[in-house]
Chains A and B, each alone.
Chain A
Amino acid sequence: MLAAIVETSKLGKVVLYSLITGVGISVVFSLGVSGAAGLIDALRERRTGAVIAWGVVAGICGAVALGAVVLGIVIMSTK
């Protein structure tokens, strides 16, 4: 009876999408923050290799987090 009422598939997707986007964007953004912190340390210590590596991590993670948000809005707006 309850199984027929509950939209298991749709609700499951809500839970799944919420977890993937909520936790996923948090993880990627945190990696970006960690990368930015590493970049600042590397700049202060003048370690060129580390500056490039942390800079790439910070840049990519920031771009991915922002891109995921934009993609989410585009998907929602698509009828």
Chain B
Amino acid sequence: MHSTLLLVIVIGTALAFDFTNGFHDTANVVASSISTRALSPRSAIAIASVLNFAGAFISLKVAATVASGIVATGKVTETIAFAGLVGAIAWNLITWYYGLPSSSSHALIGGVVGALLAAVGGSGVKGQALIGKVIIPAVLSPVVAFMVAGLSIIAIYQLVGRRKPGVVNRGFRLGQVLSSSMLSLAHGTNDAQKTMGVITLALVAHGSISAHSVHVPTWVVVTAASAIALGTYAGGWRIIRTLGTRIIKMDTAQGFAAQGAGAAVILASSHFGYPLSTTHVISGGVMGAGAARRLSAVRWGVAGNIAGAWVLTLPAAGLFGAIVYEIARIPGGGVAGPLMILALAVALTTAVFLTRRSRLATAPS
């Protein structure tokens, strides 16, 4: 049954997910250029928002992978897309509550795949494509970013090591304006497209787009770009308040190398349609730029947590997606199940936010 109300709910949930994606990831994109004072917080956030918006228009290959490369598009219903999104949001909320590093991208793909497996079984998922297009690039990309940043910083120190630090710092501050801009553009390119892919799946399920000629409508590109840009802007102001406590200490050359490596890997992957975790790629770049100078500069414990989150996120979000799908079916077909889950999700999200806020307020400083 094709329900327009259900389609509206799915699109609204997908855009909310996109907004939180931008909100959550602003720190990764702007942190090092603010900490090295290459950009003022206001400028860094404004540039990141605008370029996240622009990045969403560069390519649609990642959206195509999400919409038709890893799942049997014709088997996805609006309820499955909705359950996948809610499963991803639930997993993101849990990891956020406990402070675990998690990838929104992996959660989104895991949620949709889990809901699809629960609904139609293995025939709905292109298993080999999932491994080849999602899992292997997910493991490979932070390692490549680590290598690129490491090799870059070694070359940079060789080339400018004997120059006066003042001039070199000014030069790399300027370079960071460029690398930070490229990273924002890359982030918008890869992350906004995942939401576009899920909305496209819902449009196919609704019958608005043919499953035989899947394409991303322009209004989907514009709304997804706007949601991620607004999320980036809103998240940025939260970062300003915590500035100076969470930002990684690095010099301007390291910031340039880390951001440049992240941008290069994300843009190259987007060009070939690989949906990556931008958070993990940027973390790989930061660690590479730190490790090339001094191995002990890297917080290897954090690296271990990220590795753990890699392993957990896809199956855990998949499990949540499957559970949400089964709950959505309880009242029977149609829009009743998703509406019930939406009400429950809003209540739970508010409770989690309020609990975490009060926990942070009472925590010893």
* A interface residues (Cβ-Cβ under 8 A, vs B): 4-7, 10-11, 13-15, 17-19, 21-23, 25-27, 29-34, 36-38, 40-41, 65-66, 69, 72-73, 75-77
Contacts and interface: CB of A to CB of B under 8 A. Distances in A.
Contacts of B147: 19
Contacts of B58: 73, 76-77
Contacts of A30: 155-156, 159-160, 253
B46 interface: no
Given A18-B148, A29-B175, A76 B260 contact: no
Contacts of B136: 5-6, 11
Contact of B260 (A6, A13, A26): A26
10 contacts: A18-B261, A18-B269, A19-B264, A21-B264, A22-B149, A29-B256, A30-B159, A31-B159, A37-B171, A77-B59
B122 interface: no
Chain B interface, DSSP helix/strand/loop, else mixed: helix
Interface residues of B, number: 48
Contacts, number: 121
A18 B168 contact: no
Interface of B: 58-59, 128, 131-133, 136-137, 140-141, 144-145, 147-149, 151-153, 155-156, 159-160, 163-164, 167-168, 171-172, 175, 178, 182, 185, 189, 253, 256-257, 260-261, 263-265, 267-272, 274
Given A22-B149, A31-B159, A33-B167, 20 more contacts: A14-B144, A14-B268, A17-B264, A17-B271, A18-B144, A18-B261, A21-B264, A21-B267, A22-B148, A23-B155, A26-B153, A26-B155, A32-B171, A34-B159, A37-B160, A38-B163, A65-B178, A69-B182, A73-B58, A76-B58
Contacts of B145: 18
